Amino acid sequence: MDMDNPDSKRKAPRRKRDIRVILHFDLDCFYAQCIENANPHLKLVPLGIKQKSILATCNYVARSHGVRKLMGIHEAKRLCPDLVLADGEDLSPFRDVSKKIYSLLKSYSWNGRVERLGLDEVFLDVTDVVAYNLELLNHHCLEQSWFCLSREDPERGFGFDASAVAGCSWPLDDPDPISKDDDDDDDDDDALRLRLRLLLGSHLAFYLRQQIEHLGYTSACGIATNKLLAKLAGDKNKPQNQTTLLSSHSPASFLDPLPLSKIPGIGSKTITALKNLLKTDNDDNLTVRAARTNPAVSPAALERLLAGGGERGIGQRIWLLLHGIDTGEVKPARDVPRQISIEDTYRGLASLSHIREGLVQITASLLRRMHVDLVEDDSTEHVTTSSVSSTSSPAPPAATTTGAGKKGRRRWTAQPKTLRLTTRPYYPPSERDRYEYNHGRVSKSVALPRFVFDLGAETEVIVDRLVEGTLLPLFHALNPDSKRLSIGLLNVCVTNMDGGNDGGGGGDIVAAFRRQKEVEEVRAVAYGCLSDHDHDEEEDGDVVEEEAEESDMEEAEWVEEEDEQDGMRCRLCGCVIPFFAAEAHGRWHEVGEG
DNA sequence: GACTACAGTT
DNA sequence: AACTGTA
């Protein structure tokens, strides 16, 4: 086998130069900034954002008292009795701000490569913008340069001093003169151009941070030739400055002193594995240098060590990371999220009614988010800037009249296909330490019933039907033992968005049309039997005839087919039950009604 | 320890 | 479709 080339572990991997310019923005203590901007007087007091019993984050006033993120409320209060606590459990205000900043940055991208990492970090690949401006540069008058932000409109841009890097750089004592030593000119030229590219990146970053600041937010930024280095560089001068990694071509001296845990992609599991390989328990010894120079560390060895959890090629990837090489591209901005999930943790949800309550709760907020993220207002089309009046709009258009449905005002930009429920048991503090905190996490997915896409219906009704018809059965399937029931986590997630593609019903217009029909169908059937008559066993056909005005004969077929696909329709409540859950659902009726 | 969200791999 | 890992 050609497993590992003995050489490969010795010398640093051969690098073909990375010629990209990557920016990494990081909004410092993001939640706190959001809250502070909404209530400016909080800027001067120690502020903590709490989720359950811990601090998600806190502002710098609080930090000066020794408070740290992820600290328990009690300890934080002890350290800083004046600590003001804000509730951070509803993420929607944070998401709104995050989206605003994200679209700001996106609007400056030429290639659309704008990747969001969590709510408070954004990668930007600005290689093209920088290359364009590199050509524009007048090398005889660097001090008065013009940075062009638009190819079409040369006026759009800003003046800057291209003789110096904007913000901080690394290494600090920037050995400006590109060493005109012995080496051939090609290398020098390369190095010069690399330096200039990064320099241009630094000015763009500076400008963009100013724009973010106009929105009221401060940020840090890292400028380098790949995502790994950009992210790590940004850490150097947090929270409110930027750092350009000028030595991108030989990052060893930059990376070597860092603890391994700092490397994005190396988490707790990987650290544990590496401890074995490096034969150390001392965390101080767990630096990039230690791993990089240890002969036991080779791509193949790492692969053997880490591939247990699945990932193929992870050994190679980690090893390259240790050498400062990260080939990961900044992924193009996605129009719709890949998945939407809501979860909540509990201190032992034990009874069915409590569980139901919890499910209703998170399902409602899931539905709200689906509307926020996936429903587009047709009339307003491409209005990206929601700059106005978003401060405190009183109750958005929450289900405006079921009856007087305005024709085609709003529509789904994507429809998730599957619904997943995840639960985790609750362990009382006494037996807590016997398991890791995620022990016992289980999940199960089903097709997402289509009636959730009904825009004309009351949210409440949809939630109710989803919980009772789908989620509770799902829950029973996951937790068959109803005797010893104690839940620590509920998570509901919709995935498999279709951007108008394959899936269960072809792509394009026809499919969309058919899907719309289905929605109307199901809705007619559903509400027919829910609201009007408690639960008579009406023939589906009858109800359809009555409720769906514009229906043709086609539609009846669809109802049939859907029954076949998704399962069977419960005669008691009218829900479509996946076959596997039919029995559990039946039990639910017994328990619930009896 | 304790929170929420997301994504990659089988 | 389920699980695992990470920020």
Task: For A396-420, write each residue's pLDDT tens digit.
Answer: 343 333 334 445 578 888 888 889 9
Residue ranges of domains in chain A = 6-13+257-322, 22-248, 339-378+410-593
Closest by CA position to A131, among listed A153, A120, A147 = A147
Helix (H, G, I), strand (E, B) or coil at A411: strand
Fold topology of A6-13+257-322: DNA polymerase; domain 1 (1.10.150)
For the CA of A250 and the C1' of C7, the distance in angstroms is 27
Closest by CA position to A503, among listed A541, A450, A550, A432 = A450
Task: For A4-56, write each residue's pLDDT tens digit.
Answer: 344 443 444 545 577 899 999 998 888 889 989 988 988 899 998 888 778 88
- Asked whether A70 and A54 are in contact (CB, 8 A), the reply is yes
Closest by CA position to A125, among listed A233, A245, A22 = A22
Q: What is the mean pLDDT of residues A309-331?
A: 79
Closest nt to residue A447, judged CA to C1': C1
CA distance A280 to A287: 11
More confident residue, A551 or A56: A56
Can you read off the two tokens belonging to residue A94? 């944070």
Residue type, A1: M
CA distance A589 to A570: 10
In this model, does residue A141 exceed pLDDT 90? yes
For the CA of A86 and the C1' of B3, the distance in angstroms is 15
Directed axis angle between helix A554-566 and helix A540-547, to 10°?
A: 130
In this model, does residue A529 exceed pLDDT 50? no
CA distance A566 to A578: 5
Helix (H, G, I), strand (E, B) or coil at A309: helix
Residue A372 CB in 7 A reach of strand B: no
* Bases of strand C lying below 7 A from some protein CB: 1-7
DSSP string for A347-398: EEE-SHHHHHHHHHHHHHHHHHHHHHHHEEETTTTT-----SS-SS-SS-ST
Residue A294 CB in 7 A reach of strand B: no
**E strand or H helix at A562:** helix A554-566
Determine the Cα angle at A192 with ends A190 and A196, to 5°: 115
Task: Report the nearest residue to nucleotide B3, CA vs C1'.
Answer: A51
Task: For A374-403, write each residue's pLDDT tens digit.
Answer: 888 776 554 433 333 333 333 334 333 333
CA distance A356 to A485: 13
**E strand or H helix at A516:** helix A508-527
What CATH number belongs to A339-378+410-593?
3.30.1490.100
* Bases of strand B lying below 7 A from some protein CB: 1-10
CA distance A469 to A577: 6
Report the Cα A441 to chain-centroid distance in Å.
20
Task: For A49-90, write each residue's pLDDT tens digit.
Answer: 888 778 888 888 888 888 888 888 888 888 889 889 888 878
Of the candidate CATH numbers 3.30.40.230, 3.30.70.270, 3.40.30.10, 3.40.50.720, the domain formed by A22-248 belongs to 3.30.70.270
